Amino acid sequence: GFLNACMIVSASFWASDMCLSFLKGYYRLKEGDLETRITSIAARYVRTWFALDALLVCCDWANIAVTSSSNGGGDSMKMLRFARIVKAIRLVSILRIGRLQRVVSDLLERCLSEQGRSCVTL
């Protein structure tokens, strides 16, 4: 039904985001340079967030597979617990947003004057 469709859209989004993370450049904080070499980007992603992202995406798809073949009863309760665990792990990945804010703040501090930073933060 509708819930399964939403779960599939969500899982597809996170799977595509995971694939695109191998291509997203990043700023090297010490040098302040934008890293765009795919090999460096992929190596950094594998060292940092890949394992958590892969775990979450696999859990999402496993949840969809089990829900699709579920016959109710005890399976539904197991899936509810499983879904809660997946959501808790997904919250951990949201911490990346906080880290992103720190990176942007550091870059602004290095690149802009005090007046420029106050204009950007408004």
Tell me the per-residue pLDDT of 31-75, one tens digit each, with 9 for 90 and over: 888 999 999 999 999 998 898 889 888 888 887 887 777 655 556
Any idea which residue has 């795919």 for tokens? 38
Q: Does the pLDDT value for residue 17 go beyond 80?
A: yes
pTM as predicted: 0.59
Query: Nearest CA to 54 among 93, 28, 27, 24?
Result: 93
Of all residues in the chain, what percent carry a pLDDT higher than 70?
57
DSSP per-residue codes, 26-58: EEETTTTEEE--HHHHHHHHHHHTHHHHHHHHH
At residue 38, the pLDDT reads 95
Per-residue model confidence (pLDDT) at position 16: 92
Sign of CA dihedral 16, 6, 90, 66: negative
DSSP β-bridge partners for residue 27: 34
